[in-house]
Amino acid sequence: MTSWTGGIVADSGGALEYAASMEERKHHNHVGGTDAPSAAGFTFEVPASSGEVLGDWPRSGDEDLDLALESALRVSDEWRTRSHMDRVATLHHGLEEIVKLRSLDEHFADRLGLPGEHCVRYRRQAYRRGDAVLHRAPSVVPARGVALVHVDARAAVSGMVEELFLPLSNGMPVLLLSDPAMPFIADEVCAALESAGLPPGVLGVLHDDGLTVLRAALARAEVTRAQVRGTPALIETAREVFDARPSGPGFADSPFGAGVPGGNNPVFDARRLVDHTYLVRVGSDPDGAAEEVVRRAFGAEETWSGQAEGAVGRVLCHERVFSRFSEALLGTLDELSDDQAGLPALDPELWEEVAERISLGLDEGATLIHGDPAGSRRPKRDAILTPSVFTNAEPRMRLARPGLPASVLVLMRCKDDAQAATLADELDGEFANID
């Protein structure tokens, strides 16, 4: 049906359908318990794996940050004065709501190009990790001010839940800055927690496609705790801004001075996004271990194209089973389907990481037994990450040090299981957290 309005021809049915579809694409910040577009009106698009657009999210700025911090501080007393037991119970109810979010599976599937059933694990893992945080959350005098949380999308729902639940359980309102690669994670988690009874305004969400609002927020005196999980480069940038803040009176919780729990000592917590170590012990089944390592290092349903937080980057293998394990690993890789054997590089940083680590391994004398010696040299938009495996590597090599999770696996021999366990603790523990 076509109608005339002011000299303009419009297909009323098509126009309404188009307007409705455009409205569905629009997403907003969440401030004071309500959705709000960015003050400047600017947005950015998030693509699906198909090339279509998942939606438009707001680009936040100083005015949006002002509103979010003011809102958080307005409701801070209400949340702080609740009992620790009550806060934990509310967050636990929130976990139950998060694990029901089938819409998250759909968002992940569209963004990553995976079947929806492969994405269920992200919700389940979030429940396990969140429950663990709440069980050990200390009951302390809440600090005044606002906690800022920023989590890399590759840490998925579980990483966000871990970072949010510590300050929330301790009575601090939180400003959550989403990762532009997957901003829907922040939206869904915030909605689930508020539906579970979190007072409106205690958790605010701002979106941005860069570091503008993150830098601005870290420089504010109202932000007394920052929790950042991401790449070393992001953490370094965030830490520099946080440390450069001008000192001021700020908030005071305790008359006893600095160093007392509840006092106004600004806190910066950071956790690097790094790969992990897998142990193959003398009594391990080489075939079963090989399948597990391939799944955790390169499996599509486990990672964002093989690079998510938690991906295996090193294997410490007892020397008695090393040869059998290596053969089984290569056999398992040869059996991968075309979809598993080559996955798109969703993040240009990862494309560069793979090329640099392959070059480093070859320079240090390790042997590349699977993969392309040149790494991925295609244009970034077409980059394909194929599994790369090094052997003849030593723990002293830079290649063996934890790095950004990528589709590169390093195999190392160990004389006994005790040595392997000690080395794994040293490698994984040394680089995971920074004060």
Per-residue confidence (pLDDT) for residue 174, from 0 to 100? 97
Per-residue confidence (pLDDT) for residue 337, from 0 to 100? 62
From the CA atom positions of the chain, what is the Rg in Å? Answer: 24
Do 420 and 281 meet the contact criterion of CB atoms below 8 Å apart?
Answer: yes
Per-residue confidence (pLDDT) for residue 255, from 0 to 100? 40
> Tokens for 373?
């010696």
Q: Where in the chain is the domain with CATH 3.40.605.10?
A: 25-272
State the Cα–Cα distance between residues 293 and 409, nearest whole angstrom. Answer: 9
Q: In this structure, is the dihedral angle defined by the CA atoms of residues 156, 160, 162 and 163, taken in order, positive or negative?
A: positive
Do 217 and 57 meet the contact criterion of CB atoms below 8 Å apart?
Answer: no
At the top level of CATH, which class does the domain 25-272 belong to?
alpha beta
Do 419 and 325 meet the contact criterion of CB atoms below 8 Å apart?
Answer: no
Do 193 and 186 meet the contact criterion of CB atoms below 8 Å apart?
Answer: no
Model confidence pTM above 0.85: no
Q: Residue 241 CA to chain centroid, in angstroms?
A: 21
Closest CA to 392 of 375, 410, 379: 410
In this structure, which topology does domain 276-434 adopt according to CATH?
A: Aldehyde Dehydrogenase; Chain A, domain 2 (3.40.309)
Per-residue confidence (pLDDT) for residue 20, from 0 to 100? 46
Amino acid (1-letter code) at residue 168: L
Q: Where in the chain is the domain with CATH 3.40.309.10?
A: 276-434
Per-residue confidence (pLDDT) for residue 200, from 0 to 100? 94
> Tokens for 202?
């205690």
Question: In the chain, which stretches have pLDDT less than 70?
Answer: 1-24, 247-264, 300-307, 337-349, 374-385, 430-435
Per-residue confidence (pLDDT) for residue 6, from 0 to 100? 34
3-state secondary structure of 302: helix
Strand runs (DSSP E) across 243-293, as ranges? 267-272, 276-280
Per-residue confidence (pLDDT) for residue 386, from 0 to 100? 77
Per-residue confidence (pLDDT) for residue 150, from 0 to 100? 97
Do 22 and 28 meet the contact criterion of CB atoms below 8 Å apart?
Answer: no
Per-residue confidence (pLDDT) for residue 331, from 0 to 100? 95
Do 231 and 270 meet the contact criterion of CB atoms below 8 Å apart?
Answer: no
**Exposed, middle or buried by CB within 10 Å (0-12, 13-18, 19+), for 214?**
buried
Do 356 and 364 meet the contact criterion of CB atoms below 8 Å apart?
Answer: no
State the Cα–Cα distance between residues 303 and 311, nearest whole angstrom. Answer: 7
Per-residue confidence (pLDDT) for residue 288, from 0 to 100? 96
Per-residue confidence (pLDDT) for residue 377, from 0 to 100? 52
Per-residue confidence (pLDDT) for residue 138, from 0 to 100? 82
Per-residue confidence (pLDDT) for residue 248, from 0 to 100? 52
Q: Which residues contact residue 180 at a Cβ distance below 8 angstroms, ignoring those fewer than 6 apart? A: 44, 46, 57, 207, 208, 209, 210
Please tell me the number of Cα atoms within 13 Å of 369 on its side-chain side: 18
- For the stretch 248-260, pLDDT in tens is 544 444 443 333 3
Strand runs (DSSP E) across 59-195, as ranges? 146-151, 174-177
> What is the CA angle 214-124-149, rounded to 5?
15
